[in-house]
DNA sequence: ATAATAGTTGACTATTTTGCTGGGTTAAGT
DNA sequence: ACTTAACCCAGCAAAATAGTCAACTATTAT
């Protein structure tokens, strides 16, 4: 589980999509403008997200992208994993000599931690983040943004 | 909170250090050999860890590095933060126009998630990982490595 | 004192990843 | 037909990562 700006872009874009794709598909051009991410970079990210079965592209006028699943069924770990390379990270692979090695002992510790982080991120869904935001919005800002969030939240259900 | 191989190296090295620095300081040369990390790269990482007040260098023969605090008082988030650049990640900084922007709304969501991850990693200490390993070791392997772990665990207290 | 050990520093290089530009092709709506 | 947008791809500049090299300083053992 790697956590870089690339993953952040992906999650940000997916959040934006979740916000706006309730009625009709959202174009990458729109997301690019709102989130100030270059269109071509978004295309790369969404190509991976599509291959991972998280979003669906709709071609032609009025087209764009929409989510394949409910926001509550899309977790953060999957989004990040989708845009990153598989990441072996083992360095010792399945080598036999590694069993009794001190190095691999420490390696196991890291792997364990990595799994913990992954599980943690798997437990957080897009819906969780959106909901959390809704609460924050209503509490802190109370203007049209909040209203919009509530609208979306209703559609989501 | 960024999570890359750099952070992994740092955590791995700190784990190695926690394992071996109970009686006497551990040289970076040893860690480099065990964990197959280049010595000079370790030097860079430990320079940062030292500046962060997590490890202490002991010069002269028999010298090396040792932990400044108990393993239970050293958390993963701090280790990773120590070796990484400060990471602004804002892109909107504290700009005024960002308040009512849709982009910044999504940005806030990410920041919230980032904080969650950070808090999570803050809640995990070196001792936690070592202890977890000890349990695993006893359960699965039951050889000298496990014995060694128990020894260290006693010294730690 | 002196040699050996080991940390400290800085500059320098190679590789990888990142983020982006710009060119296209293909499918769908008008 | 024409537009719109997804889709695809080759390449490229900047940054981060990972590692090297060399000189230097502080400490300790003899």
Say if residue B139's pLDDT is above 50: no
> Cβ of A61: how many Cβ atoms within 10 Å?
5
Please report the pLDDT score of residue A80 as a whole number. Answer: 95
Q: Tens of pLDDT along B46-63?
A: 999 998 989 999 888 888
Say if residue B138's pLDDT is above 50: no
The whole-angstrom distance between B6's CA and the closest CA on chain A is: 11
Under 8 Å between Cβ of A66 and A58: yes
- Calculate mean pLDDT across residues B95-105: 53
Please report the pLDDT score of residue A101 as a whole number. Answer: 58
Please report the pLDDT score of residue A99 as a whole number. Answer: 42
Match 């190296």 to its residue by tokens.
Answer: B9
B124: confidence class by pLDDT, cuts 50, 70, 90: very high
Helical H runs in A38-125? 39-51, 76-83, 102-122
For residues B111 and B121, what is the distance between their CA atoms, to the nearest angstrom? 15
Please report the pLDDT score of residue B146 as a whole number. Answer: 31
Say if residue A155's pLDDT is above 50: no
pLDDT higher at A1 or A14:
A14
Say if residue B7's pLDDT is above 80: yes
Half-sphere exposure of B109 (CA within 13 A, CB side): 32
Coil, helix or strand at residue A91? coil
DSSP A15-30: HHHHHHTTTS-B-HHH
* Strand D positions closer than 7 A to protein CB: 3-10, 16-22, 25-29
> Cβ of A35: how many Cβ atoms within 10 Å?
19
Under 8 Å between Cβ of A54 and A67: yes
pLDDT higher at A49 or B23:
A49
For residues B148 and A46, what is the distance between their CA atoms, to the nearest angstrom? 49
For residues A50 and A108, what is the distance between their CA atoms, to the nearest angstrom? 33
For residues B87 and A26, what is the distance between their CA atoms, to the nearest angstrom? 30
For A69: left if phi > 0, alpha if psi spans -120 to 50, otherwise beta; the answer is beta
Say if residue A154's pLDDT is above 60: no
The whole-angstrom distance between B59's CA and the closest CA on chain A is: 25
Half-sphere exposure of B96 (CA within 13 A, CB side): 0
> Cβ of B136: how many Cβ atoms within 10 Å?
16
B80: confidence class by pLDDT, cuts 50, 70, 90: very high
Under 8 Å between Cβ of A105 and A61: no
Q: Which two tokens stand for residue B91?
A: 């892109």
Say if residue B141's pLDDT is above 80: no
E strand or H helix that includes residue A132: helix A126-140
Write the CB contacts of A21 (distance below 8 Å, at least 6 apart in sequence). A64, A65, A66, A67
A148: confidence class by pLDDT, cuts 50, 70, 90: very low
Say if residue B30's pLDDT is above 50: yes
Say if residue B72's pLDDT is above 70: yes
Beta bridge partners of A125: A75
> Cβ of B116: how many Cβ atoms within 10 Å?
18
Please report the pLDDT score of residue B133 as a whole number. Answer: 62
Region of poorest pLDDT, from A1-15, A139-153, B74-88, B111-125: A139-153
> Cβ of A12: how many Cβ atoms within 10 Å?
24
Say if residue B117's pLDDT is above 60: yes
A133: nearest CB among B109, B120, B132: B109
Mutate to test the interface with B, among A20, A106, A107 (most CBs of B within 10 A): A106
Predicted TM-score of the model (pTM): 0.80
**In chain A, pLDDT over 90 holds for what percent of residues?**
52
Closest nucleotide to B39's CA, by C1' atom? Answer: D19
Q: Tens of pLDDT along A62-114?
A: 999 999 999 999 999 999 999 997 765 555 544 434 444 566 667 778 888 88
Say if residue A145's pLDDT is above 80: no
Say if residue A47's pLDDT is above 60: yes
Residue nearest D22 (alpha carbon to C1'): B40
Question: Could you tell me the sign of the dihedral formed by the alpha carbons of A146, A150, A156, A157, in that order?
Answer: positive
């Amino acid at each position: 589980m790697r956590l870089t700006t690339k993953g952040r872009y992906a999650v940000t874009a997916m959040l934006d999509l979740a916000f706006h794709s309730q009625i009709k598909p959202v174009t990458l051009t729109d997301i690019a403008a709102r989130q100030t991410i270059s269109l071509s970079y978004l295309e790369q990210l969404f190509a991976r997200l599509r291959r991972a079965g998280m979003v669906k592209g709709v071609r032609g006028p009025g087209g764009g992208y929409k989510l394949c699943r409910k926001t509550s069924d899309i977790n953060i770990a999957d989004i990040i994993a989708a845009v990153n390379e598989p990441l072996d990270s083992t360095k010792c692979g399945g080598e036999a000599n590694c069993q009794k090695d001190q190095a691999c002992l420490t390696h196991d510790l890291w792997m364990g931690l990595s799994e913990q982080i992954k599980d943690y991120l798997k437990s957080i869904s897009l819906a969780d983040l959106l909901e959390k935001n809704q609460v924050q919005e209503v509490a802190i800002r109370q203007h049209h943004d909040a209203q919009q969030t509530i609208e979306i939240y209703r559609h989501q259900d």
